[in-house]
Structure 1
């Protein structure tokens, strides 16, 4: 039995394609954290296991979804991801053979209309299929991952990821993830400064555009390098703001 788990918030633009691509699964579980659009209504067209809850961060939320799963195997996907027919075939074969405890899947991400194959985005292996009893998510607020005990295999067919539809979505995610990243670094005791934020941004652009060759992805490759740099800049700038706020008058 295969359970699919998805967490959502205001994903009406994506979630229909996502759930349609896994409608063949034995069970689909959706945890929504306060959507104000049609996300919940769309999800209920595909499954009756739609739960509404608060938002504790990515890791804890995905673990909550995992705790509700009943299948021997679990496929964790994001609302902006799609399982292709080729990937479905590999998943079904793997579950039938049961040789591993989990599988990494190459993720092919689309950035503003172009599939990105450089810049560190391909092959972006993500561990998403695993035996339920062998896996558990970390409690990280952002950049969570699932830890699986046992042998891990790899698939060939990609998970299709509509990472950024347009620049508005890019800017929204840069803002959201830089805030979460800054808060996570603060909890770890990391320090920042204006110069550190600038240097982190510069290094991120050079690494993405030159060292990881997003230059080969044309205009979108340049845009990706810039948005990655912006994400690093604002994350460390927000961290600097947080530490200065803590030093302010009580």
Structure 2
């Protein structure tokens, strides 16, 4: 069974060697859609034998669907530039290539684990982040809003062992710098789809987000980082619903 790896890039020089070096031994083709990088990302991708297509930015959904459409193989591995395959996941993909699945299986779900400030985060709202990343290209398509895309897939989905390593924010300050922008984009998409926020929505939803991550999903087991992440997740939810509330009041 042959697999095409598909990813989108924009100024990902600091991440690409790690990502592409994990892909090259286990895939037959690497497809990259780049939205005009100026840091040498395209050259790095080509050095790994990737097929690079430059395409102006049209959003995560459009860019990822374009990358999938350019794949020459039936099966696709979708990966982000700040991710890498763990050794266990690489072995699972190798076994899949050697022992192709039944035709009724459309895709495979993978558990993603975040590396943050020198530690792997094994609890809370960030784990396990299960995503369908290996799939038959003619049975799946990305959809969603301007912030978070999702994969829509027809057919049976199973799970692969191993982890997808995610090297996310270097610091919470970096994360906070993006949260407000994400919140504004989310609110604009939410109000366009008829969602509403009440005066109590932001504090109640933020409190629940904290309790779910820190207590119910045992974020406390990740120590001080678990607390930091739970608070940050609550802040993000609060900002999202506050932004939605402001848009409602202006309408």
Structure with greater proportional strand content? 2
Give yes or no for the alignment of 1:31 onto 2:36: no
1:6-40 Cα deviation digits (max 9, x unpaired): 11223222222111111232111112224343433
* Deviation of the 1:66 alpha carbon: 0.7
Query: Are the aligned partners of 1:111 and 1:162 in contact in 2 as well (CA < 8 Å)?
Result: yes
Query: Are the aligned partners of 2:122 and 2:128 in contact in 1 as well (CA < 8 Å)?
Result: yes
Equivalent residue number for residue 214 of structure 2: 209
Equivalent residue number for residue 95 of structure 2: 93
- Residue range with higher mean Cα deviation, 221-230 or 149-158: 149-158
Give me the whole-angstrom Cα distance separating, in 1, the residues matched to 2:136 and 2:158: 12
Query: What are the residue-to-residue correspondences of 1:1-250 with 2, within 5 Å?
Result: 1-24=2-25, 25-99=27-101, 100-193=105-198, 195-245=200-250, 247=251
- RMSD over equivalenced CA pairs, Å: 2.0
Give me the whole-angstrom Cα distance separating, in 1, the residues matched to 2:38 and 2:174: 17
Change (3 A) 1:237 1:54: farther
| Count of equivalent residues | 246
1:88-115 Cα deviation digits (max 9, x unpaired): 1211211332223211111111222221
TM-score by length of 1: 0.89
Gaps of 5+ in 1: none
Query: Are the aligned partners of 2:76 and 2:135 in contact in 1 as well (CA < 8 Å)?
Result: yes
Structure 1 residue runs of 4 or more that deviate by more than 4 Å after TM superposition: none
Query: Are the aligned partners of 1:73 and 1:132 in contact in 2 as well (CA < 8 Å)?
Result: yes
Gaps of 5+ in 2: none
Give me the whole-angstrom Cα distance separating, in 1, the residues matched to 2:185 and 2:40: 25
TM-score by length of 2: 0.89
Give me the whole-angstrom Cα distance separating, in 1, the residues matched to 2:80 and 2:61: 13
* Deviation of the 1:221 alpha carbon: 0.4
